[in-house]
Structure 1
């Protein structure tokens, strides 16, 4: 999609060039301008003597371009600094989480305690600051009348320079995602949830299986946010292409005998349940006669077609080949009505196929990359910008700028090693999430042991990943149905941290770990020794990397943090420091455990947390207390709750909740009530209610008679009543 907003300078591509400084002597304001924006404004105190970097004096690295600015005074000064960026800017910690720290995500545009950076998405510009005490002026990034973003901080600057680093074209140049050009194109960043046939049925899938699944997920999950039914491997003809003289598209456009109604029947059947149809395709070529006789596949110097692992024969991806063999099946499947495309084996196309040709001296490395890119461009061009494109599998820089989502992990299944891989790879690649594309950790198999499944689906939902479930309908018992519903839809969470990968940490591929190889056809087997294998390694750190997350959620009227503890390794009982979650350590917080449905009390600098066995999780809502009754949790969604709570208002002793739910269902909402308040009345529209007092909370059970409901709770402030009583006594 094209940018909705042009930059003031009129130049779409932000330059790898310096921000120029200007000193406005009338206002005593130091300004730095870049790409048509005054990106930094610093109000200098009167009478002080300041030292700062000027113009090109601040370049510390030319490629990739980094500009360093600094400011110092002859004596300590308090200053206010304003950053103004494009309409899409985020608070970003300019480094990755370390052991003991939470991985940071954000839903909304909050400003996070200690997160010393701002990232301008549309300009691919990272600004970070170091060397002085500072704090945010506002709890969120603000918007100007012109539609630009701005944030302000107060900084204590002294004789030691306070440093600001500007990293122009940060993801494109500094992190080397060369095709990342957000000023030209942005992926579809909507939340995505669906059902995938692969791990449920594998290649044995039949038409009736798809229809049964569509009926089941439509009935149980559509109202909660599930959108797609995606058919995976098993519908196509067995040979690609079917005939030596045919085209590759024939294998994909004609279904096999297990799908007698063809694509038309599949699409109409899925849509009949109010769902969108998705389809799997593959870059593979398997017909040896086709590969040998035609010109579509790459041949060695002796004229024999080359082969690559998993990919078989390798399409040469020339414009002619793509136009004849690839474009027709993407266009044909789009015309058939599919709106979601999973393009598989493209990792093998480039690494095991085109790079094999490079090794043999048949093409150059840059030609291999160009050919691969041309394949993905062909797919995108034929399905259109309104269809959803998932590249599968592996983090492929070459798909940036074309794919809406990228699968960041290898194949998953219901075994613990596979689920652990999903958790670990989600953490490893989180700095790319909703910046380059949506991250997909592969489908969640909810038929796995319940605690494992709960961990996987909770993490995908909270982090805003691509959420596909993949089980037969008979595996969905009442508890698992409830678990799935609590996690739909996934959030629109964006990474709130960035930086280089830790390359000393191994990429987790469960199929290659000694002692963890499993039979894929018996992948639901339990790993009986999982605890003893991981307990020892967890003793070094209370929360090793991958185990602790902090998702900061902000709506128009609410702000809170969801802390997630995921036991990729056994976790000890511990005191979780709020500062490690990106929260101010001197505030008081009301804490609620989602899966336990339990209020854990008020805490400030640390939160006591229970021990977790390998594979289990703990999800905590951490709400800053504001001195009045306030909503702190719900049973509807693991976010507690950015989904069903449309609005929360406090107006002269009344807490007004506007809710949206599934008609005929009941949900619980917990209201924190300070000591000096007492519930004195309740009015409801669109629902029936039941109220239960629990410790410092009121549990509000809502039965939705209509999709939208309003609840008004009236509270009496005892301190105000006491004041009135004292005044009356005096009178």
Structure 2
């Protein structure tokens, strides 16, 4: 079959109906995206973006789904005519901040053009620092004055960027101004009767009056200079939520006062759009300026990232909350991707995986030429952002750990999984069930580890993945066939979508032939996996026009490597021959131990076999769950108060397993101590109004502290928050100490109310608690309670700085 090149792959016939989910299924850790036309039993129905309508599998119709159900008032399908793909490139802010110069921009642009342009990088965006006469706020919001560090001219800098084969972008807080002379000249800003500013904010000392026709002339003149005269083709307009809020609250200072602040705001965007045209990218920033939908091409969907794992979590939170908007309403931008030290390589790969698997706007923000070769290679494997779309059309209330990108590339139907451990301190084991991903339960799946470049075997039912702290594993899974399958390529994290232009298997003569787009001097690898049989395959011969080809044969899989001195299309052919595989006799494992790690979860460990083995099959209540390569597994979904059975059998690569296994029968409730700290148990649900709920740490990652008291155990969260545990009626007393987190710096105001619910009924409520208040103790009876919910409510003054702690929070059994 022939697959169109990248330029055509991005130009789907949009908008069109596509399958979707509108709610979680039983596995609430699952987050699904799609690339290509996907058909899966996981779909709840079909979404029609033109009609804004979901047709469920049972025939029920949900009209105005985005507008009314999701609250996107100005919903319309994204117009992909001019921007068929999200932007990919570089942004200056998160390395240089305001300490930037034209010389540094040019160095990065030159590097970007030489090293990443052929991988899909297109934009070089200059952020804050090019304008005005000062730093910070104040005089900095003057778009008519150029900073002395850019004395050669912004137009000359744009020309230089274009000469590198890139498109220049520019940041500004477009609705604000700090230059009094500009304000007097245009006479279109919000002023008091005494001539002083009526709106001095982060956006600028002055803010335009959207009701004044002169403000539209001002905006048109400004963007005419930036776009038509200087040559910038990408604009990041910042502070938009501030602008919207000020338009709402400052109508008394308008030339023509109006309560319709939404229309006033949208009209300013329309003026900008008319001036820059439809071929120029307009990005709203920050937060989620939903009033810009239908006009903006994209939007920043979260706050500013910071260097380190906390910065990754900012992008993660934005993705969980707003990914349902991406490539349907606009292109989502979870903020930049940062890969430099002190991030470990595992952290860098996790950040890149977040970007590459979701297809959101992809802007790096390191000093590019300082990155190590290993980190540069990570960048290359996720550029460009592709036409990936959410399958889950709803916001997520938790940070999901199992990401499933379902890809249909003609006859190549496969899933690329991102398995995330968000905890920076602990190892984790994540179980992936093939059934949860929409496959028949007994399906045998080839598994290929993308970042580690190794084949993990072909296994039934599921896989237990071992993860280091703060890491991600990207595993490609593909159903086994009775012949070789092309399981992976190394060009891009999607593993074939942009590089495999055509491919075909000749079953009679046992060869694959195809055409790939290869980038010069970048070793291009194609991987083939074989069926799990005693008689397997190996590569006999491989050719790629006149280029040298390296062949590597392993047990169960093979790889070819092609290096081309030029970028272009290369025809290749791989011929297979039969071979036998080595088989080792498997032996019964021993020493199975069960440790409770929750009310429905356990960790099973057993002795490593002395003799050779490929891994183990894990059986739960007489049913195969899947394969684990190590002598441990975390198993969930168990009964708290009835008997469970775990059995472990040793397995070899050909699927042969030990006749006998090691077995344990147990009830989780019998393994639990009388007192259980809830911070040691994974909740069924944990939501937070800001950040991510943390166990045994504050929301900011510090020790749990209330007033002057520090605790080893506890849950750190932020209003408004819900934390839910299913106790199955097995506990009798709930105890905790609650209060505002004392780790916050500065003179901030916080106020919350703590509440405890049992099976929907309010059991206890704290008084309004403020910063520096002493902890309040709670001890209540919960006998017979199934669902326990810990709620932190806003006390009525907004949720800013509402960092809340449930300290020493535990449940107690008084009777067996």
Out of 245, 252, 267, which is 2:143 matched to?
Answer: 252
Report the counterpart of residue 239 of structure 2 in structure 1. Answer: 345
Report the counterpart of residue 658 of structure 1 in structure 2. Answer: 515
Report the counterpart of residue 694 of structure 1 in structure 2. Answer: 554
CA distance in 2, matches of 1:481, 1:428: 29
Report the counterpart of residue 270 of structure 1 in structure 2. Answer: 161
- How far is 1:546 from its partner? 2.7
- How far is 1:568 from its partner? 2.2
**Distance 1:257-1:389 versus aligned 2 partners, 3 A rule:** same
Report the counterpart of residue 103 of structure 1 in structure 2. Answer: 31
Out of 299, 313, 321, which is 2:191 matched to?
Answer: 299
CA distance in 1, matches of 2:235, 2:483: 48
Asked if 1:230 corresponds to 2:158, the answer is no
**Distance 1:309-1:105 versus aligned 2 partners, 3 A rule:** same
CA distance in 2, matches of 1:306, 1:439: 33
CA distance in 2, matches of 1:333, 1:458: 34
Asked if 1:714 corresponds to 2:714, the answer is no
Report the counterpart of residue 483 of structure 2 in structure 1. Answer: 628
Post-superposition CA distance 1:589-644 (Å, at most 9, x none): 1011111112111123211200331x211111011222211111122222223122
CA contact 1:549–1:581 (8 Å) conserved in 2: no
Report the counterpart of residue 669 of structure 1 in structure 2. Answer: 526
- Relative contact order, higher structure (CA 8 A, sep 6+): 1
Map 1:276-291 → 2, pairs under 5 A: 276-282=167-173, 283-287=175-179
Report the counterpart of residue 54 of structure 2 in structure 1. Answer: 126
Post-superposition CA distance 1:114-158 (Å, at most 9, x none): 2121111222221112xxxxxxxxxxxxxxxxxxxxxxxxxxxxx
Map 1:64-463 → 2, pairs under 5 A: 88-96=16-24, 100-129=28-57, 163-182=58-77, 188-238=83-133, 251-252=142-143, 254-282=145-173, 283-287=175-179, 295-300=187-192, 304-311=196-203, 312-335=205-228, 336-351=230-245, 353-357=246-250, 366-448=259-341, 449=343, 450-463=345-358
CA distance in 2, matches of 1:183, 1:340: 17
**Distance 1:222-1:425 versus aligned 2 partners, 3 A rule:** same
Asked if 1:479 corresponds to 2:374, the answer is yes
**Distance 1:338-1:290 versus aligned 2 partners, 3 A rule:** closer
Out of 494, 510, 513, which is 1:639 matched to?
Answer: 494
- The TM-score normalised by the length of structure 1 is 0.71
**Distance 1:320-1:364 versus aligned 2 partners, 3 A rule:** closer
Post-superposition CA distance 1:288-337 (Å, at most 9, x none): 57658974222357764223541232211235233332111212222122
CA contact 1:654–1:712 (8 Å) conserved in 2: yes
Aligned partner of residue 219 in structure 1, secondary structure: helix
**Distance 1:166-1:316 versus aligned 2 partners, 3 A rule:** same
- How far is 1:379 from its partner? 1.4
**Distance 1:597-1:485 versus aligned 2 partners, 3 A rule:** same
- How far is 1:108 from its partner? 0.7
- How far is 1:96 from its partner? 4.6
CA distance in 2, matches of 1:226, 1:635: 18
CA distance in 2, matches of 1:672, 1:302: 77
CA contact 1:442–1:468 (8 Å) conserved in 2: yes
- How far is 1:182 from its partner? 3.1
Post-superposition CA distance 1:10-58 (Å, at most 9, x none): xxxxxxxxxxxxxxxxxxxxxxxxxxxxxxxxxxxxxxxxxxxxxxxxx
- How far is 1:682 from its partner? 2.7
**Distance 1:182-1:665 versus aligned 2 partners, 3 A rule:** closer
| Farther off after superposition, 557-566 or 187-196 | 187-196
**Distance 1:225-1:187 versus aligned 2 partners, 3 A rule:** closer
CA distance in 1, matches of 2:216, 2:553: 67
- How far is 1:477 from its partner? 1.3
Asked if 1:551 corresponds to 2:408, the answer is no
Unmatched runs of 5 consecutive residues or more in structure 1: 1-84, 130-162, 506-543, 720-731
CA contact 1:563–1:581 (8 Å) conserved in 2: no
Report the counterpart of residue 572 of structure 1 in structure 2. Answer: 428
CA contact 2:190–2:207 (8 Å) conserved in 1: yes
Aligned partner of residue 617 in structure 1, secondary structure: strand
Asked if 1:611 corresponds to 2:611, the answer is no
CA distance in 2, matches of 1:597, 1:425: 29
CA contact 2:19–2:39 (8 Å) conserved in 1: yes
Report the counterpart of residue 464 of structure 1 in structure 2. Answer: 359
CA distance in 2, matches of 1:717, 1:253: 72
Report the counterpart of residue 645 of structure 2 in structure 1. Answer: none
CA distance in 2, matches of 1:344, 1:235: 15
- How far is 1:189 from its partner? 3.8
**Distance 1:687-1:98 versus aligned 2 partners, 3 A rule:** farther
**Distance 1:209-1:332 versus aligned 2 partners, 3 A rule:** same
**Distance 1:686-1:325 versus aligned 2 partners, 3 A rule:** farther
CA distance in 1, matches of 2:458, 2:59: 37
**Distance 1:185-1:617 versus aligned 2 partners, 3 A rule:** closer
- How far is 1:221 from its partner? 0.8
| Farther off after superposition, 580-589 or 378-387 | 580-589
Q: In the comparison of the two structures, how many residue pairs are matched? A: 554
| Farther off after superposition, 450-459 or 202-211 | 450-459
Aligned partner of residue 585 in structure 1, secondary structure: coil
Aligned partner of residue 575 in structure 1, secondary structure: strand
More helix by share: 1
- How far is 1:359 from its partner? 9.5
Post-superposition CA distance 1:165-213 (Å, at most 9, x none): 1122321233221211339887834132101111121112111111111
| Farther off after superposition, 458-467 or 360-369 | 360-369
Q: CA RMSD in A?
A: 3.0
CA distance in 2, matches of 1:183, 1:616: 33
Report the counterpart of residue 561 of structure 1 in structure 2. Answer: 415
**Distance 1:616-1:636 versus aligned 2 partners, 3 A rule:** same
Post-superposition CA distance 1:245-296 (Å, at most 9, x none): xxx99x4355222112212211111111111111112132224576589742
- How far is 1:553 from its partner? 1.1
| Farther off after superposition, 442-451 or 291-300 | 291-300
- The TM-score normalised by the length of structure 2 is 0.64
